[in-house]
Amino acid sequence: MFKSLLIANRGEIARRVMRTAQRMGIRTVAVYSDADAHALHVREADIAVRIGPSPAAESYLRGERIIAAAKESGAEAIHPGYGFLSENAEFAEAVKAAGLIWVGPPPAAIRAMGLKDAAKKRMAEAGVPVTPGYLGDDQSDTRLKRAADEIGYPVLIKAVAGGGGKGMRKVDAAADFIAALASCRREAAASFKDDHVLIEKYVTRPRHIEVQVFADSHGNAVHLFERDCSLQRRHQKVIEEAPAPGMDPTTRAAICDAAVRAARAVNYEGAGTIEFIADASEGLMADRIWFMEMNTRLQVEHPVTEMVTGQDLVEWQLRVAAGEPLPLTQDDLTISGVAMEARLYAENPSTGFLPSIGPLTHFRLPSDVRVDTGVAQGGEVSAFYDPMIAKLIVHRPTRAAAADALAEACRRVEVWPVKTNAAFLARALSDPDFIAGRVETGFIPTRLEHLVPASSPSRAVLRSAAIARLDGEIGSDSMSPWSAITGLRLNASAQVTVDLRHGAERHDVVLVPPMGSAPLRTAIAAGHVLVFDQGEVHEFTAPRAQVGGGGGGTASGTIVSPMPGRIIAVAVKAGDTVTKGQSLVTVEAMKMEHTLTAPFAATVEALMVKEADTVSEGATLVKLVGQETQAS
């Protein structure tokens, strides 16, 4: 076994790899960008080496700098984690050429499975069933459109080098194909530097099931059973579990055996995941499951497999990379209980899941479940990287118990001022259809109204905020807005009225002694009272005097950026006439695109940005003049 390991990644996966390596007595080396100079993975490593500025393209995607850091620090091996360079065959070759150990599959296997079209052809040759679609070399708009028409809508456009939901679009009608193709290509080029795509038949009631495989350099290959990753939002996994609900022994044997055949077909070594799509319209059936792609790395959701099998998959990776045989044979591996994982994202469900960035002034996660995270209170969520800030994982004897425990863990998440999807996750895990195992990739989109309801503070929330305010938790700072006597009113019967503001709403909360304690957990941060309820945070401030007519927000004819990001497309120019819903500007942040559209029929009065501009949240992008207003 090698004695030192560099982890070419950041955040929770860097910490996860370090945890196992340090347990095995291996010296760990972290790399970091300027944005991560004070990150947890940097503090916890034995050695840390700076590799560049904050943008990933100037740091974590610079293979030569990572290899130089390994040589500088004396590392013998490099573990790529997931994302970034983990599936880059050229980087794997460069690591080996530098005399270092690559903790991953052979570069040839990465190439064979890295492009979705070539991988599907190879799997078909190996007898692995594949989804109907177009895998041709002709990438012209005309040929791709004709292929989609022939397959029949709906179809999926998928970047051949894609992953994580990037470079993927569902198209329901022929008229929408060309616009979706252009958007898909842009996102693929930005994320993978490759805009080639394939076309695939969209299964109307699909389930996403994947199999964890492992192989070594001695000819051994095994599977560690399946995971269900059907709960997705915009093709990005949100909740994963193992084993897959409703999986019978015959179907499990068929899908897992196919996964091992797939690994053997490319002479695989190390950890890999074979992803399948299943037609769930009549339950899971062996003849209705097709190969989609292979991820030649460790997956984000690997903890659920670890929990049900009792194995440390990172340790397996390190031992295989060191030339050792697999720790166990297929007959040694069994499933125990049910494990579930929820991905906690820094995003705001109420604004269409737009990314949320900023300082983590208050950050508390439950301590009685497994938590994999790369951030801590006092840290910051940056716009430069993926918005996932933690994974919550539970393991229970039954699926119902696992769902209940994970939902409760999500309800106890406390994060502010960054927004998260914790309450959304808790609702999904508590949904009767989820509990019954009726899952498919359309689960979330068809239930958004229930999963992201319009909410206002309940009586319990208001009472808790008022009690926290009255208890003087803010402190005695005379500069605090809470110190103003106008915030409290005492009447003759000793009732106390506490004035609170929740966003644009003002609430007068009447408390009658004895008040007791707050029914919900509260905290004080930066002059705000925070009330945490079911995974959500309600923020209260003291009311302030209004100047003039009052009212907030933006004029209806001004289009502002909902998040900090980069302008990647401008579809209009000054003087253009636009219809309601027409695309105006597309903003990219955290590798995801968000297209802003016209809220009404109008004329473009002014265009404030151009392609490649960097904008802040709230920046004015376009000014519109309504056609009716203009006519008058």
Segment (H or E) for 121: helix 116-125
Pick the catalytic residue: 207, 297, 399, 463?
A: 297
Give the burial class of 67: count Cβ atoms within 10 A of its Cβ; 0-12 exposed, 13-18 middle, 19 or more buried: buried
Query: Which amino acid does the sequence have at 379?
Result: G
- C-alpha distances out from residue 534 to 66, 239, 423, 580, Å: 42, 18, 6, 37
Burial class (CB in 10 A: 0-12, 13-18, 19+), 55: middle
Could you count the other beta carbons within 10 Å of the beta carbon of residue 498?
24
Half-sphere exposure of 451 (CA within 13 A, CB side): 27
Report the phi/psi class of residue 6: left, alpha or beta, with left for phi > 0 and alpha for psi in -120 to 50: beta
In total, the chain counts a number of residues equal to 632
Contact 428, 444 (CB under 8 A): yes
What is d(CA 344, CA 356) in angstroms, rounded to the nearest whole number? 12
Which tokens is 100 given? 């270092």
Cα(42)–Cα(59) distance, rounded to whole angstroms? Answer: 14
Give the DSSP H or E segment for 631. Answer: helix 627-631
- Burial annotation 28-39 (CB, 10 A radius, 16+ → b, else e): bbbbbbebbeeb
What is the CA angle 465-470-473, rounded to 5? Answer: 80
Q: What do you get for the CA distance between the two ends of the chain, in Å?
A: 79
Which of 421, 240, 441 minimizes the C-alpha distance to 342? 240
Query: How many CB atoms sit inside 10 A of residue 264's CB?
Result: 14
Buried b (16+ CB within 10 A) or exposed e, 180-190: bbebbbbbbeb
Dihedral sign of CA atoms 135, 136, 142, 147 in order: negative
Residue 133 in contact with residue 198, Cβ under 8 Å?
yes
Token pair of 316 as six digits? 């397996």
Contact 18, 44 (CB under 8 A): yes
Q: Could you tell me which of 619, 573, 578 has the C-alpha nearest to residue 600? A: 578
447 is catalytic: no
Catalytic residues: 297
